[in-house]
Amino acid sequence: MSQRLRIALTKGRLQDKSVELFEAMGLDCSPVRNPGRRLIHTLPNYPLDAVLAKAPDVITYVEHGVCDLGVVGKDTILEKGGAFYEVLDLGFGRCRFALAVKRGSDFYGTYKTRRIASKYPNVTRAFFEGKGMDVDIIKIEGSVELAPILDLADGIVDIVETGATLKENGLEPIEDVAQVSARLIVNTASMKLYKNEIADFLSRVERELGGQV
Ligand code: PRP
């Protein structure tokens, strides 16, 4: 008998896109679309159960093996790291990490240590370490664009999708830090234990993604 797999989906936009993808593959996702107060959703026509979680928790569940698979943004993977297989770029949730500053400000034109605000301190640290540049990093939980406006920071490292938020707040991106999109991740033990089940699921995803190009 084949093992039912469990997948953790990042709540919100990635959840909607994941459901669209799975439905295009022929999976009945009505339990995820109409969750009620249930937390685990059993798909009726494929041996897969889905849980919805915040992005960092998707990684935690997959790392601990309580979920075999996960859909999570590369932004969270870069920030949190962890031991799992990153097997597929799902192509949706595309955006980028960028360094942004007040429009017209000369970020590199000073010797003093720059202050950078970000929700992603590890990504920020790795980026500036790669340049051999010493910066002070201030962790901000949301609306990071406020930090340079309030003169708390010289720049921010943040997610840019359309660029509208930066523009409307008098900021401009000056450098790309990393490309971001949704990734399918797999627990390392599940990959061996449920090799056939995971291979079947991956091949269905790949077939669907292949058909989209
Ligand atoms: C993200 C990001 C930017 C905005 C970028 O914020 O932090 O603020 O989206 O999108 P844009 O380039 O299309 O304008 P999010 O909506 O996740 O909210 P937050 O600022 O509270 O984290």
User: Does 198 lie in the same domain as 145?
Assistant: no
Give the number of the atom of ligand 1 that is nearest the alpha carbon of residue 95: 12
Please give the distance, rounded to the nearest whole angstrom, from the Cα atom of residue 162 to the centre of ligand 1. 9
Same domain, 140 and 207: no
Q: What whole-number distance in Å separates Cα of residue 117 and Cα of residue 120?
A: 9
Q: Is 164 in the same domain as 191?
A: no
pLDDT at 212: 66
* pLDDT at site 1: 62
Same domain, 76 and 103: no
Residue nearest to atom 10 of ligand 1 (CA): 161
CATH number of the CATH domain containing 102? 3.40.190.10
Indicate which atom in ligand 1 lies nearest the CA of residue 163: 12
Query: Which residue has the CA at smallest separation from atom 5 of ligand 1?
Result: 160
The two three-digit tokens of residue 1, written as one number: 């008998």
- φ and ψ of 3, to 5 deg: -75, 135
Residues 109 and 208 in one domain: no
Q: Do 74 and 153 reside in the same domain of the chain?
A: no
Task: Dig out the tokens for 105 from the structure.
Answer: 């400000």
Integer Cα distance of 156 and 168 in angstroms: 15
Ligand 1 contacts (CB < 6 A) are 142-144, 158-165
Q: Give the total number of structural domains in the chain.
A: 2
Each residue's pLDDT tens digit, 101-112: 999 999 999 889
The 10s digit of each residue's pLDDT in 44-96 is: 999 999 999 999 999 999 999 999 999 999 999 999 999 999 999 999 999 99
**If DSSP codes are grouped into helix, strand and coil, which group holds residue 91?**
coil
| Domain extent for 175 | 95-179
Q: Which atom of ligand 1 is nearest to 161's Cα?
A: 12
pTM: 0.94
